[in-house]
Chain A
């Protein structure tokens, strides 16, 4: 800032907030404490919205939900010590699912770092394995370049969380505000363009393959390659299966869509992978929940693997054609090399598999969770944004909600962190104020972060919350049923709060729904309500997520 020829000095805290403005950050999620007060003092008069959560885990999950929903960098801030440690689960989640976050933590003054001072923790040490990078700012003159680099690192290449630890005295020091235009990173240069020779080789393999399957993951959503993916599938007549993280990158109703693969994937998706002669893996990482025993995964197939992270290629599975690059850029180079092909016999076989092994459940008089999801899908025309928690309800969402909009599923995949749902839904709704955001949660998960109901009300967010209440930690109960001879222990709650009364305490209308008829009858009104609604769906407590591929066996 130049005033009358001389540079205006500001505090580093002021510079930090101005840097966020320069990065076009409209919103930060946070919880204050002594060490971050210099920043809060400045935030108060900034145009940046600060969302006060009820627990720091809520802040980082909300930033995470915001980032997933909008594709932009999510920002959160917490104080030193316990504030910082409360972020850890949310940071790990962002790391596993490649979500861009910039996280600010307060730290004790530089003079006290390393002395076990009050509320000192080594948060950069703690988060080394779960951040893409992190910084402890020891020199206020380096703050702005650090922030510039952090946003760049978080958002580019394979996105991920970057943490900046801010000793309190640093924040009070004066600097002249000059936000750097350029990043300064010696060796960090993500490769976007794929190797041309490899792309040609991929095209040759695709053109001569008879039974190709496309295995598409979160990378497609991150690089916004949904249109290219659809074109690829349609040109070469290849069915598409999704990882959990990749769901919504192709419309759920698309005739070439196979649903999710892996542990709780559709039988026909897994069989198609087993029978295929070419697996086209796009923006995926061959996670163990997908492959099961690696030796019998896609046993007849050659594999083409496109990913922006070179370390993912060849990590778990041998790859015939590795292509490092941004999947959108690579697909744009690949598409013109492909022959339009019908592959009628293969598609006929796929249809046969779909008919032989459909997803199914038995509709009874009790409320079935799958039916709840089908009804939600029908009444929102597959166009809602669905946030979920972790457990059976999450898998039923993956199986039965047919997403139309890319990125419309907001869910903790790689980490599988219960408690993600409500705060992430809050972040998503704040990022997408015009969209209908629905939270599908479980009675267990919801109780982990339901304190954020207050945040939701405070922010006037019209979330529609559906608790698929089986009065149990259903997913774990299911594991005990299958693998521990039904010796149920530590999974059935003896006390569950009355969620409808709880909703009332927050001034939110709540409903208990026990039967399919009631659901169908009440759902339109609930979904069209202008404000938030909590729906406690009392579902069949013994319902399982099926299919479930058994341990070690190939599905």
Chain B
């Protein structure tokens, strides 16, 4: 089963290496990983999708918590959360096909972000199911290149793990 972890880490050099190294060293499978700065420039938030049963997940979270640079680990799988992924896809599009592709884009509320002589590049955000459907609908036209950001997620509602007050010296 897939679990979504959000991991707050100190924005220190090597922190990504420490986290990724931990996964590979202990044989945990990362399905996707997205990292970026939070509202506090000293803190980054990682959204990690990991496959495993309850025991594996328990180990993953415990081992992550042992890293000194890790501030907080939450497995939000069982909670209400908003998850999004961004995909960019470059598809073959002869002038005759452009209209059809633009309709597909409309359906998925995707946007055309670039136009080539024979290609269109589309941008789409959404949850996993939507991104998958989007990809499937484009496939018949010929996907030349595709890139996904990996999932990012936040809990719904007013619950949050505030990091605004964490100072650089404390990390």
Residues of chain A having any CB pair with chain B under 8 Å: 124-125, 128-129, 132-133, 136, 138, 145, 153, 184-188, 309-311, 314-315
Within 8 A of A (CB), among B51-70: 55, 58-59, 62-63, 65-70
A186 contacts across to B, CB distance below 8 A: 10, 71, 166, 170-171
Question: CB-nearest residue of chain A relative to B55?
Answer: A314
A187 contacts across to B, CB distance below 8 A: 65, 68, 70-72
Within 8 A of A (CB), among B33-79: 55, 58-59, 62-63, 65-72
- Closest Cβ–Cβ distance, residue A127 to chain B (whole Å): 11
Question: CB-nearest residue of chain A relative to B58?
Answer: A314
Is B160 close to A, CB under 8 A?
A: no
Question: CB-nearest residue of chain A relative to B166?
Answer: A186
CB-CB under 8 A for A128 and B18, given A186-B171, A310-B65, A315-B59: yes
Is B25 close to A, CB under 8 A?
A: yes
- Closest Cβ–Cβ distance, residue A181 to chain B (whole Å): 13
Given contacts A185-B68, A311-B65, 6 further A-B pairs with CB under 8 A are: A128-B18, A136-B14, A184-B170, A185-B171, A310-B65, A315-B59
Within 8 A of A (CB), among B121-171: 166, 169-171
- A231 to B90 CA separation, bound complex (whole angstroms): 72
B13 contacts across to A, CB distance below 8 A: 136, 138
- A116 to B63 CA separation, bound complex (whole angstroms): 32
Do B21 and A128 touch (CB < 8 A)?
yes
Do A124 and B68 touch (CB < 8 A)?
no
Do B169 and A145 touch (CB < 8 A)?
yes
Show 28 residue pairs from A and B whose CB-CB distance is below 8 angstroms, ordered by the A residue.
A125-B14, A128-B14, A128-B18, A129-B25, A136-B14, A138-B13, A153-B68, A184-B169, A184-B170, A185-B68, A185-B170, A185-B171, A186-B10, A186-B71, A186-B170, A187-B65, A187-B68, A187-B70, A187-B71, A309-B66, A310-B62, A310-B65, A311-B59, A311-B63, A311-B66, A314-B55, A314-B58, A315-B59
Ranked nearest first, the 6 interchain pairs of A and B with the lowest CB-CB distance are A311-B62, A133-B68, A187-B71, A186-B170, A184-B170, A184-B169
A184 contacts across to B, CB distance below 8 A: 169-171
Within 8 A of A (CB), among B71-100: 71-72
- A310 to B169 CA separation, bound complex (whole angstroms): 27
Do B66 and A129 touch (CB < 8 A)?
no
B67 contacts across to A, CB distance below 8 A: 133
Interface size class of B (residues with CB under 8 A): 20 to 34
Do B65 and A128 touch (CB < 8 A)?
no
- A310 to B61 CA separation, bound complex (whole angstroms): 10
Question: CB-nearest residue of chain A relative to B68?
Answer: A133
- A354 to B29 CA separation, bound complex (whole angstroms): 46
A125 contacts across to B, CB distance below 8 A: 14, 17
CB-CB under 8 A for A188 and B68, given A311-B63, A314-B58: yes
Question: CB-nearest residue of chain B relative to A157?
Answer: B66
- A124 to B171 CA separation, bound complex (whole angstroms): 17
- A129 to B18 CA separation, bound complex (whole angstroms): 8
A133 contacts across to B, CB distance below 8 A: 67-69
- Closest Cβ–Cβ distance, residue A131 to chain B (whole Å): 10
CB-CB under 8 A for A132 and B68, given A311-B63, A315-B59: yes
Question: CB-nearest residue of chain B relative to A188?
Answer: B68
A309 contacts across to B, CB distance below 8 A: 66
B25 contacts across to A, CB distance below 8 A: 129
- A43 to B28 CA separation, bound complex (whole angstroms): 45
- A125 to B68 CA separation, bound complex (whole angstroms): 15
B171 contacts across to A, CB distance below 8 A: 184-186
- A309 to B67 CA separation, bound complex (whole angstroms): 12
- Closest Cβ–Cβ distance, residue A288 to chain B (whole Å): 15
- A125 to B14 CA separation, bound complex (whole angstroms): 8
- Closest Cβ–Cβ distance, residue A443 to chain B (whole Å): 35
A314 contacts across to B, CB distance below 8 A: 55, 58-59
Question: CB-nearest residue of chain A relative to B66?
Answer: A311
B10 contacts across to A, CB distance below 8 A: 186
- Closest Cβ–Cβ distance, residue A464 to chain B (whole Å): 40
Question: CB-nearest residue of chain A relative to B63?
Answer: A311
- Closest Cβ–Cβ distance, residue A413 to chain B (whole Å): 20
- A487 to B3 CA separation, bound complex (whole angstroms): 49
- A314 to B72 CA separation, bound complex (whole angstroms): 21
- Closest Cβ–Cβ distance, residue B52 to chain A (whole Å): 14
- Closest Cβ–Cβ distance, residue A315 to chain B (whole Å): 6
- Closest Cβ–Cβ distance, residue B13 to chain A (whole Å): 7
Interface string of B6-25 (1 = CB under 8 A from A): 00001001100110010001
- A311 to B73 CA separation, bound complex (whole angstroms): 14
- A311 to B146 CA separation, bound complex (whole angstroms): 38
B63 contacts across to A, CB distance below 8 A: 311
Question: CB-nearest residue of chain A relative to B163?
Answer: A186
- Closest Cβ–Cβ distance, residue A25 to chain B (whole Å): 21
Max chain A C-beta neighbours (<10 A), residue from B14, B25, B55, B72: B14
- A136 to B21 CA separation, bound complex (whole angstroms): 17
- A136 to B67 CA separation, bound complex (whole angstroms): 16
A315 contacts across to B, CB distance below 8 A: 59
- Closest Cβ–Cβ distance, residue B161 to chain A (whole Å): 11
B166 contacts across to A, CB distance below 8 A: 186
